[in-house]
């Protein structure tokens, strides 16, 4: 089951540049159902008092750089378990850069 995540109360910035999401065995770049290449990007999620970094899979290509302010659409979390290990993975429909000016204007409303 995938759990949707609401990011409307936080700011999100790029922590590290996107990199191809590759299949572990074949090293081929993974693709989504529409044939777009998948990437992984680390994002800083800031709420004004704390910051956490999450690694998100999203369709690429993404032209993002560290510290870019971004909007994440369709963020979901999914629990996984494999060979005695388990964790939480994140995926998104899109990750897009937004301007600082547009972000401040939205916050002022």
The pLDDT of residue 104 is: 53
Mean pLDDT of the chain: 90
48 backbone φψ class: left, alpha, beta (φ>0; ψ -120 to 50)? left
The pLDDT of residue 101 is: 57
- pLDDT exceeds cutoff 80 at 106: no
The whole-number average pLDDT for the span 61-81 is 94
- Tens digits of per-residue pLDDT, 28-67? 999 999 999 999 999 999 999 999 999 999 999 999 999 9
The pLDDT of residue 2 is: 84
Q: How many domains does the chain have?
A: 1
The whole-model pTM stands at 0.84
Which CATH number goes with the domain that contains 17? 2.40.50
The pLDDT of residue 52 is: 95
Contact 96, 75 (CB under 8 A): no
Where in the sequence is the domain holding 27, given as residue range(s)?
2-108
The two most distant CA atoms of the chain are separated, in Å, by 49
User: Could you write out the three-class secondary structure of 81-105?
Assistant: EECCEEEEEEECCEEEECCHHHHHH
Contact 44, 12 (CB under 8 A): yes
Of 55, 54, 2, 60, residue with least CA distance to 31: 60
Tokens of 4: 């949707």
The pLDDT of residue 66 is: 96
The pLDDT of residue 108 is: 47
Of 41, 91, 45, residue with least CA distance to 62: 41
Which residue's entry shows tokens 């850069």? 97
């Amino acid at each position: 089951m995938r759990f949707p995540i609401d990011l409307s109360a936080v700011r999100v910035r790029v922590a590290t540049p996107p990199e191809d999401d590759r299949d572990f065995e074949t090293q081929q770049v993974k693709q989504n159902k529409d044939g777009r290449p998948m990437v992984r990007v680390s994002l800083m999620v800031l709420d004004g008092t704390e910051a956490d970094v999450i690694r998100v899979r999203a369709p690429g290509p993404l032209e993002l750089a560290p510290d870019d302010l971004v909007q994440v659409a369709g963020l979901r979390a999914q629990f996984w378990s494999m060979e005695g290990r388990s964790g939480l993975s994140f995926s998104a429909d899109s990750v897009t850069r937004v301007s600082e000016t547009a972000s401040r204007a939205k916050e002022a409303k």
